[in-house]
Amino acid sequence: AESCTGGLVAAAVTSVAGASDWFDRGFVTYSNAAKSDLLGVNPELFARVGAVSPEVASAMALGARHRAGVEVAVAITGIAGPGGGTAEKPVGTVWFGLAWKEGDAVRSETRHALFKGDRDNVRLQAAEFVLRWLLQAAQPS
């Protein structure tokens, strides 16, 4: 489930032959309405904590996992710039969510990063970050 990356993760994954063996679908939910409509994110979260937050990243990942019926889902929500940043959430602020099924339970985790550079650099760094995290999570302990 991607917001600020606008589909870069899905594009990177599907550029590799054989991706159809494990990649099911992607959601580009750029607006808050899309996050609610497609992923089931509670609209009250946006008013309470903002779209760029650990709560929304987690809700996006959980919603993507549930709505797609998959084992694992990732989510990205952030401020790529050049505008939109604040003192509390400057340009380059990105929150990531990971949701997975573990036995009968569904678990989620969030991570945060602050990337430097212009809009393109922030978006590319965010896509790379979440793909590396997903690969690490897939490694057996």
Tens of pLDDT along 70-122? 999 999 999 999 999 999 999 999 999 999 999 999 999 999 999 999 999 99
pTM above 0.85, yes or no: yes
Which domain range does residue 24 map to? 8-138
User: Is residue 114 included in any domain, yes or no?
Assistant: yes
User: Is residue 3 included in any domain, yes or no?
Assistant: no
| Domain count within the chain | 1
Helix axes 54-68, 32-39, angle to 10 degrees: 40
Task: Write the CA distances from 1 to 107, 118, 140, integer angstroms.
Answer: 16, 22, 24
CATH number at residue 41: 3.90.950.20
